[in-house]
Amino acid sequence: MHDIRQIRETPAAFDAALSRRGVQDASQALLKLDESRRAKIAAAEAALAERNAASKLVGKAKASGDEAEFERLRALVADKKAEIAKLEEEAKAEDEALRDALMSLPNLPLDDIPDGQDETDNVELRRWGSPREYPFAPKEHFEIAEAMGLMDFAAAAKLSGARFVVLKGALIRLHRALAQFMLDTHVEAHGLTEVWTPVLVRDEAMLGTGQLPKFAEDSYRTENGWWLIPTAEVTLTNLAAGEILDASALPQRYTAHTQCFRSEAGSAGKDTRGMLRQHQFEKVEMVSVVAPDQGLAELERMTGCAENILKALEIPFRTMVLCTGDMGFGARRTHDIEVWLPGQGAYREISSCSLCGDFQARRMNARYRPEPTAKPEFVHTLNGSGLAVGRALIAVIETYQRADGGIDIPAVLRPWMGGRSVIAADGSLA
């Protein structure tokens, strides 16, 4: 959420930054609403002062026997009371309207973010590894895994419909090994604190990280009002909601492995084959809560944590800086990590790491004290996938596919696979 005081002070700069994200002249309506709200607050305060002054004179008029003056003052007090109530109600309504308007606007991009409309305008930051060459035509993950009998979309459709999958046997063990490897690496090598959180949250949590009110259709809501989280970013970031942290407690770095749920609204016709885009999936998430001057360095650190997972798996990837038209709603700068999928012959996103500045912190009132006696300031927040487990499974299947229809197990995962090195074409571990 944006600071209306800052918009008031620098409306042209605010409009220029938002125009890079396709929002034009946003300050005009905001400032008009803010001016009206503040005018009503001032009028209510003036009316309150008049009422208080009249109230003090009522008793004197009564005592002096001036009945006419007594009645006039009493009527004035009643009128001012009604006027104050009306002004306060109107100011409250405009305050809520202003808050809703501010919450509907995306974050401001940093100055060095490339301008652009979509993913074709993203800029490559770096890449690691080279795509393998195969003595056969590489297959897509679902062709390999379905032939093994370990990936079943028909069974999932019978249970739940489209965009679900049933995984079996050695393949789900590989999936589990990936998640375990990611968590252990983030905790032991990267210094993150592992957290287990609910996957059902209240409106306030979704509002805090920006999924509400604008993106309600992208998530699932239960009949009793809970939301199924689209990512553990929601729960991990909201651990700081309403808190005033000591500067010595920062940075806070968390990781969690959770089920995630997304409606995939607007994705009809995209990635309909395979398990690249699912309604239910697992992700190992990273969240950092930092002081404002730590944000950019922390983004590089977080991106490096995600990259290290792919380096250990020996899977080629490239890291992209997203353009203004492709960044998420709450981000000021985003690094997407795209993994090479031999079956598709393309790089596809496997992690997205974003610096949000104080955008989420304002929404959830998450603050810290720079000094013990200092006024609280908003923290800065970051989030990133470390990694999407299902997409990592896809990358392993396609990268390590064999001519005989089997899959080599990456060396780094073998401790979680009972020391086995291959999933054979018949689905057995060897």
Has 154 been labeled as part of a binding site? Answer: no
Residue 349 designated active-site: yes
Has 362 been labeled as part of a binding site? Answer: no
* β pairing state of 317-321 and 333-341: antiparallel
Has 122 been labeled as part of a binding site? Answer: no
φ/ψ of 189, rounded to 5, equals -95, -30
Q: For residue 424, give every residue at least 6 positions away whose Cβ sits within 8 Å of its Cβ, in sequence order, or none.
A: 404, 406, 430
Strand extents, DSSP E, 80-145: 123-128
Provide the greatest CA pair distance for the chain: 110
Give the Cα-Cα-Cα angle 428, 340, 331 (nearest 5 degrees): 120
Residue of 21, 363, 367, 391 with catalytic role: 391
Residue 104 designated active-site: no
Has 350 been labeled as part of a binding site? Answer: yes
Best CA proximity match to 179, nearest among 408, 428, 396: 396
CB–CB of 383/233 below 8 Å?
A: yes
Residue 202 designated active-site: no
Residue of 21, 51, 253, 262 with catalytic role: 262
Residue 333 designated active-site: no
Residue of 27, 288, 352, 354 with catalytic role: 352
Q: Calculate the dihedral angle through the C-alpha atoms of 62, 64, 67, 73, rounding to the nearest 10 degrees.
A: -60
Has 104 been labeled as part of a binding site? Answer: no
* β pairing state of 166-167 and 200-201: unpaired
Residue 119 designated active-site: no
Q: For residue 159, give every residue at least 6 positions away whose Cβ sits within 8 Å of its Cβ, in sequence order, or none.
A: 166
Has 64 been labeled as part of a binding site? Answer: no
Has 285 been labeled as part of a binding site? Answer: yes
Give Cα 172 distance to the centre of its chain.
Answer: 27
Has 352 been labeled as part of a binding site? Answer: yes
Has 351 been labeled as part of a binding site? Answer: yes
Pair of tokens at residue 186: 């983030």
Best CA proximity match to 302, nearest among 265, 333, 342: 333
Residue of 8, 74, 132, 277 with catalytic role: 277
Has 264 been labeled as part of a binding site? Answer: yes
Mind telling me the catalytic residues? Answer: 262, 277, 349, 352, 391
Q: Residues annotated as binding site?
A: 231-233, 262-264, 285, 349-352, 383, 385
Q: Residues annotated as binding site for ATP?
A: 262-264, 349-352
Q: Residues annotated as binding site for L-serine?
A: 231-233, 262, 285, 383, 385
